[in-house]
Structure 1
Amino acid sequence: MSNPDTFDVVVIGGGPAGATAANDLAKMGRSVLLLDRAGRIKPCGGAIPPQAMRDFDIPESVLAAKVNSARMIAPSDREVDMPIDGGYVGMVDREHFDEWLRTRAAENGATRQTGTFEKIERDSDGTAVVHYRPGQGRSSTETATVRARSIIGADGANSFVGKHYVPGYETVKYVSAYHEIVRAPANDSGADFDGTRCDVYYQGDISPDFYGWVFPHGDTISVGVGTAVPGFSLRTACTELRRRAGLEQAETLRREGAPIPLEPLKRWDNGRDILLAGDAAGCVAPASGEGIYYALAGGRLAAEAVNEFCTSGNPKALKKARQRFMKAHGKVFWVLGIMQKFWYSSDKRRERFVSLCADPDIQYLTWEAYMNKRLVKARPGAHFRIFFKDMAHLLGVVPSNR
């Protein structure tokens, strides 16, 4: 860099999207400042598919656990097991996983700075000037500035960058999520818990429009709930979920809450030099709430678009991040959005949804699609069978206990 106070890119936010964007841009030879607020841990079940590990060079050593099955629990307390045949889902603790991603970005050339983002102003020549407070917390009165040819806002759902600098951001919709990290019980504790299984509760009193989860993280467990219904008590629901899972006596290590976006924003850039990524852009899958893989993917696409912008100077390059993301994942998001609105709308429908999960064809296609992030072509007949079974459940022809 000819000027140490000027960067090609300033990335605001060091979660999976921001850290991946910073890492990729640094490897491209761009000067990058990764600005992250200390102590922020997003409430997250922590599931990460094998495809993410392959695409983003994530070693198994960063995993807290491997899961080889899921258990779906209906309003009637009926349990349906969904084993993963020949594969696994990785589980990470975001406190350690996100830090590993940030450290990797720094090792590959990004400049790390702990601090709290304040605002963006413009220099006399129109260059963006990023203001932030260095250090931990908001108590510091010291303000620092850096110039940026471009900015990636990866500061999470309810993004300050998006809200203040990207037109249309106020249209974003959210699910409120809350979880408690508890210590995993001993084998003889009597808790109905398996460290290689994810439990998903589709019960209206746990969540009226989403679900509750009990996900293993090795020595700890994430127990959480989510909802978009105003006034619903997430803490009360989480307490009840812990009771049902036999974890009410488990030691609570920390509690976290945050909004989760329900759909990708219509616009991710300001048409000039700012681009959103990850949760800030709404890259969370409906129905499942899966966000880590899509944050990694969104961060990479943001890096590619910003790199093109830095090369050409044409702001239209920034729009390619959303275009490429929606081309790759838009259809899946659309289907999952419909599924969430229909199946999660009542306990009667949730009961039928869990019944569908017992079907071997659905289990096969679900895990193949999740683990590999691609359409399954190996069993074309399965799609037709699922269609007719799904229609039978929708019309109430099939009893919910089948």
Structure 2
Amino acid sequence: MTTAFDVIVLGAGPAGSAAAIGAARAGLRTAIVDRAVFPRDKLCGGLLTARALARIDALAPLPPDALDRHDRIVFFRHGQPLGEVSGCPPVHLTTRLSLDHHLLQAALAAGVTDLTGTRVAGIEAGHLRLHDGTAPGFSILIGADGVASPTARHLFGRAFDHATIGFALEVETPPSDDRTLRIDFDAAVAGYGWRFPKSGGTTIGVGGLHRCNPDLGARMSDYLSLLGASGSARVKGHFLPFGAVRRHPGRGNILLAGDAAGLVDPITGEGIAHALHSGSLAARACAEALRAGSPGSAYGHYRRSLVPLHRELAWARMLRHLVFSPRAADRFARAFRRSDPARQRYMRLLAGEMGYPAFVGLSLARLPRHLLAGRS
């Protein structure tokens, strides 16, 4: 007999586990599917802002030893320092191996059926076809299956648009005595480089808009040399929905969450907090739709709940040109270098303590001073 679920979640990353936990806690029969067996390694910067930590705490708090706390960040452009921020709202670093496993275990503890370690052969009306020969049924399907989402391909014919997608290269190097968290705004076109030190290693990467960086491999090599990190460590690449927000993150009884919905900030690169948020919103939409006896209404509930997040990311996409475009980048860099308040505002933005409209308002209020300083 084919098992039937109220909700099946594809993908056991942060978005998927958040969705599964929310659905199970709402009393829905829920299963989670992922081709990987957990714990599994996943190369990722692993930066957790205060906003992300608050969402994790609402699901299942991480143990303190899973986090590396940083309240000092240094910024560079063209190899020249733009200043540092210390005593700022802290950010934390973790590994996706520990974070994803922790959240999946919380989902299973909430009563979610574990279908990880199983590949999906196809998505059909009301059920999945799995490679192990089973075909579990669902009333609602949540695709939290990453930027190359098979669920998005099923709905729209392709997972993403190459004209708007980002791409990143990353490498994991051994732990270093240098514990400085570093961001380089010019390491890639319409993107940046990062050095995130953790207790178990250091993640170094560069990323930006895919179409603007045909030479990203060479940029990565240059960045590793700049940081003195050249060596034999394996460089991995992956697409990144760097501001490529999907306007229609689903249809009917199929929803898309996290990277599958394009929910990555194009300025700060934050994705984990938005993945957790969207997964929880998707679970809530499932509960509302099923309470009304109308699984097909789930997308309408979900899309309405995403409006504030979509609005915030629309601001970020508009402002990306002020941060990364060649025409405006020099002026931005001068303001950033000369103004500690500007750097503090950036950190408050990253921490989720300030939204983009407030960030723009405060920045514009100080703009005349920076313009005058640039002419002197």
TM-score range relative to shorter protein:
0.7 to 0.9
Alignment of 1:1-400 (within 5 A): 5-38=3-36, 41-57=41-57, 58-61=61-64, 63-75=66-78, 77-85=80-88, 87-113=89-115, 114-122=117-125, 128-133=126-131, 142-166=132-156, 173-185=164-176, 187=177, 193=178, 195=179, 197-203=180-186, 206-230=187-211, 232-249=214-231, 252=233, 254-261=234-241, 262-271=243-252, 273-314=253-294, 315-327=296-308, 329-346=309-326, 349-358=328-337, 359-375=339-355, 386-390=363-367, 397-399=372-374
Give the conservation status (yes or no) of the 8 Å contact 2:288–2:301.
no
- Residues 1:291 and 1:391: Cα distance change in structure 2 (over 3 Å): farther
How far apart in 2 are the matches of 1:16 and 1:120? 22
The offset of 1:24, in angstroms, is: 1.3
Give the conservation status (yes or no) of the 8 Å contact 2:17–2:107.
yes
Give the conservation status (yes or no) of the 8 Å contact 1:71–1:80.
yes
- Residues 1:372 and 1:270: Cα distance change in structure 2 (over 3 Å): closer
* Number of aligned residue pairs: 365
How far apart in 1 are the matches of 2:230 and 2:153? 39
The offset of 1:54, in angstroms, is: 2.4
How far apart in 1 are the matches of 2:360 and 2:320? 19
Give the conservation status (yes or no) of the 8 Å contact 1:202–1:350.
no
* Runs of 5+ consecutive residues of structure 2 not aligned to the other structure: none
The offset of 1:234, in angstroms, is: 2.8
TM-score in terms of structure 1 length: 0.82
Give the conservation status (yes or no) of the 8 Å contact 1:151–1:275.
yes
Give the conservation status (yes or no) of the 8 Å contact 1:180–1:255.
yes
How far apart in 2 are the matches of 1:42 and 1:263? 22
- Residues 1:175 and 1:310: Cα distance change in structure 2 (over 3 Å): same
The offset of 1:115, in angstroms, is: 1.3
The letter of the residue matching 2:72 is: S
Q: Deviations over 1:257-313 (max 9, x none)?
A: 211112321111222x11111110111111111100000000000100011122213
Instruction: Out of 313-322 and 273-282, give the one that drifted further.
Output: 313-322
Q: Secondary structure at the match of 2:245?
A: coil
Give the conservation status (yes or no) of the 8 Å contact 1:43–1:178.
no
- Residues 1:363 and 1:155: Cα distance change in structure 2 (over 3 Å): same
Q: Deviations over 1:174-225 (max 9, x none)?
A: 101110011122x3xxxxx3x2x3211122xx30110011111222111001
The letter of the residue matching 1:116 is: R
The offset of 1:163, in angstroms, is: 1.5
Q: CA RMSD in A?
A: 2.7
How far apart in 1 are the matches of 2:118 and 2:368? 52
Give the conservation status (yes or no) of the 8 Å contact 1:75–1:350.
no
Q: Secondary structure at the match of 1:73?
A: strand
- Residues 1:69 and 1:242: Cα distance change in structure 2 (over 3 Å): same
- Residues 1:309 and 1:384: Cα distance change in structure 2 (over 3 Å): closer
The offset of 1:244, in angstroms, is: 0.9
The offset of 1:8, in angstroms, is: 0.8
Instruction: Out of 36-45 and 92-101, give the one that drifted further.
Output: 36-45
Counterpart in the other structure of 1:190: none
Q: Secondary structure at the match of 1:156?
A: coil
How far apart in 2 are the matches of 1:313 and 1:111? 22
Q: Secondary structure at the match of 1:207?
A: coil
Give the conservation status (yes or no) of the 8 Å contact 1:24–1:300.
yes
Give the conservation status (yes or no) of the 8 Å contact 1:179–1:224.
yes
Structure 1 or 2: more helix by fraction: 2
| Identity across matched positions, percent | 23
The letter of the residue matching 1:160 is: P
The offset of 1:335, in angstroms, is: 2.3
Instruction: Out of 215-224 and 384-393, give the one that drifted further.
Output: 384-393
The letter of the residue matching 1:323 is: R
The letter of the residue matching 1:19 is: S
- Residues 1:388 and 1:232: Cα distance change in structure 2 (over 3 Å): same
Q: Deviations over 1:126-151 (max 9, x none)?
A: xx110122xxxxxxxx4321111110
Give the conservation status (yes or no) of the 8 Å contact 1:75–1:351.
no
